[in-house]
Amino acid sequence: MGKHVIVGAGQVGVHLAERLIERGHDVVVVTRSGSGPAGVERVAADVADRARLTEVAKGADAIYNCVNPRYNRWPQDWPPMASSFLGAAEDTGAVLVTLGCLYGYGPVDGPMTEDLPLAATGVKGRVRAKMWQDALAAHEAGRIRATELRASDYYGPRSTDQAYIGETRFVKPLLAGKRVPYLSDPSVPHAWTYLPDVAEALAIAGTDERAWGRPWHVPTGPAVSTREVAERLCAIAGAPEPRVYEVPRGVFNALGLFSPMMRELRETRYQFDKPYILDSSAFQATFGLAPTPLDDALRTIVAAYRETAGAGN
């Protein structure tokens, strides 16, 4: 078994650590504060410090970039961190596995596939596109081995308040019978990627050389509207009929005057204003990993929510 270094202990990093531990690997989790799940070596480090990251990753088989800077800090925070990841991968020989997103494509008509050009016009999309272009160039030059896994918006157990249909802003209020605001039309189909599937795909990418040298889409089920997800969630939980309402565009824009996060969301609003469809067939066919069916995922989410709620009583 090998040594695997995960940078970031958020909603993906913790799931990934568990997957790698189950496979018998030694897992190191790096965060600025030194936090991390049980069963791993926890290290406090500044990810932008190449020398420090290289020191931590010495002898590693893979480095996983699961970092997520604040939205409004991407142009400032990502470039030095991305450079550090490339440097550490080159210095140690570890495979660099980056958890990416779909922003680099920009607005797309039809299903998104990995061969689409990275044609983003927004700031965040251009930042992510350049990160992959730099990593791919280094891979093709023989300096590193790299891959990037791109997922749509997350949902699943232990999702954070950053997730549109996560536990905090969606599951908990719906199961309590409360109204839930949504920043666009909740009847528009959207691709949702299940957190345990993200972790499983990352674990595969870090240990299977067939994944290296290209981007992949994380196995993701058919696009489903937020309203339908809410209806199926509440039906499974035996909760009241869901009440999901659209926040008016004027209110959405006004919130951006006071909230940096809301202001940044204007740039990616296009993802929710029309069907947002992800084609993950390449990864599924190559590695035999299918997306978790939505109802199965929702049952797990409901069970996890009830367990957490029960523990809090």
Largest CA distance in the chain: 57
Residues 81 and 119 in one domain: yes
Residues 202 and 268 in one domain: no
Show the domain range for 63: 3-152+194-217
What is the layout of strands, in order, in the sheet containing 62-65?
41-44, 26-31, 3-7, 62-65, 95-100, 146-150, 215-217
Residues 205 and 102 in one domain: yes
Residues 65 and 209 in one domain: yes
Is position 108 within any domain? Answer: yes
Q: What is the pLDDT of residue 308?
A: 76
Residues 118 and 25 in one domain: yes
For residue 14, give every residue at least 6 positions away whose Cβ sits within 8 Å of its Cβ, in sequence order, or none: 36, 37, 158
Angle of helix 123-140 versus helix 74-92 axis, rounded to 10: 10
Going by the DSSP 8-state scheme, the letter that residue 278 receives in this structure is B
Residues 183 and 137 in one domain: no
Strands 224-225 and 189-190, by their bridges, are antiparallel
For residue 103, give every residue at least 6 positions away whose Cβ sits within 8 Å of its Cβ, in sequence order, or none: 120, 122, 124, 125, 128, 129, 268
Residues 125 and 143 in one domain: yes
Per-residue pLDDT of the chain (313 residues; tens, 9 = 90+): 899 999 999 999 999 999 999 999 999 999 999 999 999 999 999 999 999 999 999 999 999 999 999 888 999 999 999 999 999 999 999 999 999 999 999 999 999 999 999 999 899 999 999 999 999 999 999 999 999 999 999 999 989 877 889 998 999 999 999 999 998 999 999 999 999 999 999 999 999 999 999 999 999 999 999 999 999 999 999 999 999 999 887 776 666 666 766 666 778 888 999 999 999 999 999 999 999 999 999 999 999 988 877 655 4
Residues 146 and 244 in one domain: no
Q: Please count the structural domains in the chain.
A: 2
Q: What is the pLDDT of residue 129?
A: 97
Residues 135 and 263 in one domain: no
The CATH number that applies at residue 159 is 3.90.25.10
The CATH number that applies at residue 60 is 3.40.50.720
Q: What is the pLDDT of residue 262?
A: 66
Q: What is the pLDDT of residue 190?
A: 97
Is position 23 within any domain? Answer: yes
Residues 74 and 128 in one domain: yes
The dihedral over CA atoms of 85, 88, 89, 95, expressed in degrees to the nearest 10, equals -80
Residues 242 and 255 in one domain: yes
Residues 306 and 172 in one domain: yes
d(CA 221, CA 115): 19
Is position 76 within any domain? Answer: yes
For residue 216, give every residue at least 6 positions away whose Cβ sits within 8 Å of its Cβ, in sequence order, or none: 114, 147, 148, 149, 150, 201, 205, 280, 282, 283
